[in-house]
Amino acid sequence: MYATEKDLDKLTRCYEIQRWDEGLCLSQSLLKQFPHDGRVWELSGMLFRELTSFKLAQNALETATTLIPLSDRAQLALADCYLHFGQRQLAGEMFQFLYEKVGIAPQLHSELKDRLQKLSDSEHQSDGWEPADLQRPKLTAEHHYNLAHSMGYLGYPPECVEQEILRAIELAPDCLEYRIGLAGFLSQLHRAEEGYQYVARLSLQEISRLECECCLERLVKVFHAGGDHRRLLACMDRVEEVKRAQRKRKCINNDEE
């Protein structure tokens, strides 16, 4: 089975209007349903490339090549990945092949000309060049956090997910959601004690406002590992409050039916 044209159009639209994090959320959902759809893998790889997550982009695009012929834009994205990881000859050959291809889009032709010129110039420079120097988007903390979520959902290595959450925290150090997210993620990796440092200053009032039962249960493990009994008890109490509220809402819904 394959994704519908409607879903693919929506995914393509996300790429074109630079709503990359939204596109990744959609692509991960589609890949769960249609893991053999090369078109979704291709667009996923192109989205990762725009976010300069070159390893993830390369993995997705190379998977796509086993399922479909890559589009010209996707081939350029894959060549960018190879160049980023030092495979200059392979990248150069791909750039040249696309540049000489009959009927290639004018915008793409211009980008390829620029890459080939940069690649040629870098042969005489000690510091080299990589494609990220051309268009490195200024990602927000939210972009990095959403990217981490996407990577985790798709089953990418934990260290990649962790790195993206750390980048989100670096850009928005006061965001509670990111700190709780990292602490909870580390607890899932049996590193709860390490995760404690990110939530050690969480106030009891902030704990009392948390609504996610899963997050609270992970925090219970984190505070237990950190020996923080005051916050541990606060989280345990809040878990019970959330459960009671859920049961109450369920009873109300049943009565209305």
Summarised one tens digit per residue, pLDDT across range 126-145 is 555 555 444 555 678 887 88
pTM over 0.75: no
∠ Cα 6 140 28 (to 5°): 35
In percent, the amount of the chain with pLDDT more than 90 equals 51
Question: Per CATH, which fold does 5-132 belong to?
Answer: 1.25.40
pLDDT digits (tens, 9 = 90+) for 160-211: 789 889 989 999 998 999 999 999 999 999 999 999 999 999 999 999 999 9
Instruction: Report the C-alpha gap between 239 and 160 in whole angstroms.
Output: 30
HSE-CB at 233 with a 13 A cutoff on CA atoms is: 2
How do residues 30-49 score in pLDDT, each as one tens digit? 988 999 999 999 999 999 99
**Cβ contact 76:104 at 8 Å:** no
pLDDT band at 246 (very low <50, low <70, confident <90, very high): confident
pLDDT tens, 70-109? 999 999 999 999 888 888 888 889 999 999 988 899 999 9
The number of beta carbons lying within 10 Å of the beta carbon of residue 69 is 10
Q: How much is the pLDDT for 25?
A: 83
What is the DSSP track for 233-246? HHHHHHHHHHHHHH
* pLDDT tens digits, 54-74: 888 998 999 999 999 999 999
Q: Do domains 5-132 and 141-197+205-256 have the same CATH topology?
A: yes
Give the pLDDT confidence score for residue 138 in this predicted structure.
Answer: 64
CA 69 – CA 244 distance, rounded (Å):
53
Mean pLDDT of the chain: 86
Ramachandran angles phi, psi of 123, nearest 5°: -60, -25
Q: From 181, 241, 234, select the one nearest 213 (Cα to Cα).
A: 241
Looking at per-residue pLDDT, the higher value among 151 and 81 belongs to 81
Alpha-carbon distance of 58 to 101, in angstroms, equals 22
Confidence check: pLDDT of 243 > 50: yes
One-letter-per-residue 3-state SS of 104-118: CCHHHHHHHHHHHHH
pLDDT at 194: 94
Token output for 70: 């890559």
Decide if pLDDT at 52 tops 90.
no
Among candidate residues 147, 225, 220, the one with its CA nearest the CA of residue 180: 220
Domain ranges of the chain: 5-132, 141-197+205-256
CATH no. for 141-197+205-256: 1.25.40.10
Contacts of 228-231 with CB under 8 Å at 24 or more apart are 228/196, 228/200, 230/204, 231/199, 231/202, 231/204, 231/207
